[in-house]
């Protein structure tokens, strides 16, 4: 009898279809997405389904053993994975880009609108009985997307999808910056510019870069000081791309108009965190890809990546191969 390869799914909340794909070929074990449980269940597995933002460290890889050949992360970002260590150990890695572009772009647009139109602040004003006709015509004024300039830092799949969505908002100019001009920039009518030009000219700045040693802390005091005082900053990438103290200072001193954040440091954010006290900051708890459809597609893609690698073929969306 041929022994089936073993796969550990480190989460109890993976959509059934993904588990079904794995179970149809492999010996599947499921455990809690906690380090203790993972360390207990990982010895001897050939494939690993990693759905949390928990760091996949050397202790876990050592405990797995040398037969571990494939890791599928159920996220587009893989900053919590040491890719060179996986490469060194001959372990293949796949992630889940593309399938989440729509959902993450939706959250980006939602945050942009909520921050620019002061939705959370306005709702709190109602609850605190501060909505009064005495407020006059200049109360709770926001910024408009119509005829604005939108700047995208990092024109990947999410950035492109944000631009496509905002086309319906009568935006005047789309700018983007990054390592170089991209063919999709021309397709969507976005102009490639330098970072400083983008910051000084944009009314809305979207952070869509992956977290790397190059992008860590890139949204800092200098960055915010170049933005317009009326501009809105939206982050759907990773919290660590932002120097959060600098952002808090910029929001407090009204150096920028507002921020909309789906990602921050730390996550989960403590309920008494300073960011939550800022009236001009709208926060969602890392919900970018959190729709039923997208999470299901991400889980299925992760299962297929693991299955492909264990069957000796290229993952659908490989990072290390
Ligand atoms: O990297 C990802 O997949 C997103 O941040 C999840 O929401």
Q: Indicate yes or no: pTM above 0.90.
A: yes
91 band by pLDDT with thresholds 50, 70 and 90: very high
Per-residue burial over 224-253, b = 16 or more CB atoms within 10 Å of its CB, e = otherwise: bebbbeebbbbbbbbbbbbbbebbbebbee
Task: Give 33-39's long-range contacts (Cβ < 8 A, gap of 24+).
Answer: 35/60, 37/10, 38/8, 38/10, 39/63
Active site residue 53: no
Q: Choose which residue among 51, 77, 81, 319 to substitute to test ligand 1 binding: the one with the highest number of ligand atoms within 8 A of its C-beta.
A: 77
pLDDT of the residue at 53:
85
pLDDT tens, 225-256? 999 999 999 999 999 999 999 999 999 999 99
Instruction: Tell me, in angstroms, the distance from the centre of ligand 1 to residue 76's CA.
Output: 5
Q: Is the CB of 288 inside a 6 Å radius of any atom of ligand 1?
A: yes
Q: For residue range 147-157, what is the model confidence (pLDDT) as tens digits?
A: 999 999 999 99
What is the rounded distance in angstroms from the CA atom of residue 94 to the CA atom of residue 314? 10
CB distance 20 to 58 below 8 Å: no
Close Cβ partners of 85 (under 8 Å, ≥ 6 residues apart): 58, 61
Check 53, 80, 273, 286 and give the catalytic one.
286
Ligand 1 neighbourhood includes 95 CB (under 6 angstroms): no
Nearest residue to 69 (alpha-carbon basis) of 298, 303, 304, 312: 312
State if residue 76 touches ligand 1 by the CB under 6 angstroms criterion: yes
Calculate how far, in angstroms, residue 266's C-alpha sits from the geometric centre of ligand 1. 15
Q: With 70 as the cut, is the pLDDT of residue 1 above it? A: no
ipTM over 0.85: yes
Residue 52: the pLDDT is 85
Percent of the chain with pLDDT over 70: 100
| Domains of the chain with bracketed CATH | 6-97+292-320 (3.40.50.720), 101-283 (3.40.50.720)
Output the CA 67–ligand 1 centroid distance in Å. Answer: 28
**Ligand 1 neighbour 100 (Cβ under 6 A):** yes
């Amino acid at each position: 009898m041929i022994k089936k390869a073993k796969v550990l799914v480190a989460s109890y909340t993976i959509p059934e279809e993904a588990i079904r794909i794995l179970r149809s070929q492999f010996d599947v074990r499921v455990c809690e997405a906690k380090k203790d449980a993972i360390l207990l269940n990982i010895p001897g597995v050939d494939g690993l389904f990693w759905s949390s933002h928990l760091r996949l460290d050397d202790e876990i890889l050592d405990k797995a053993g040398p037969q571990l050949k494939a890791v599928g992360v159920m996220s587009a970002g893989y900053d919590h994975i040491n890719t060179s260590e996986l490469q060194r150990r001959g372990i293949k890695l796949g992630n889940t880009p593309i399938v989440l572009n729509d959902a993450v772009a939706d959250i980006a647009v939602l945050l942009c609108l909520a921050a620019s139109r002061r939705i959370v602040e306005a709702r709190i004003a109602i609850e605190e009985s501060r909505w009064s006709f005495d407020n006059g015509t200049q109360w709770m004024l926001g910024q408009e997307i119509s005829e604005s300039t939108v700047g995208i830092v990092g024109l990947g799949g999410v950035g492109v999808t944000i631009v496509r969505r905002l086309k319906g908002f009568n935006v005047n100019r789309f700018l983007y910056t990054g390592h170089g001009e991209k063919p999709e920039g021309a397709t969507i009518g976005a102009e490639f510019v330098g970072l400083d030009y983008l910051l000084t000219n944009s009314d809305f700045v979207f952070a869509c870069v992956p977290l790397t040693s190059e992008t860590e802390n890139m949204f800092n005091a200098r960055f915010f000081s170049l933005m317009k005082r009326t501009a809105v900053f939206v982050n759907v990438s990773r919290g660590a791309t932002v120097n959060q103290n600098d952002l808090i200072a910029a929001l407090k001193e009204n150096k920028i108009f507002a921020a909309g954040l789906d990602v921050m440091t730390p996550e989960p954010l403590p309920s008494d965190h300073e960011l939550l006290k800022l009236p001009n900051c709208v926060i969602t708890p890392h919900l970018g890809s959190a729709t039923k459809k997208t999470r299901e597609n991400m889980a299925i893609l992760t299962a297929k990546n693991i299955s492909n690698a264990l069957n000796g073929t290229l993952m659908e969306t490989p990072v290390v191969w």
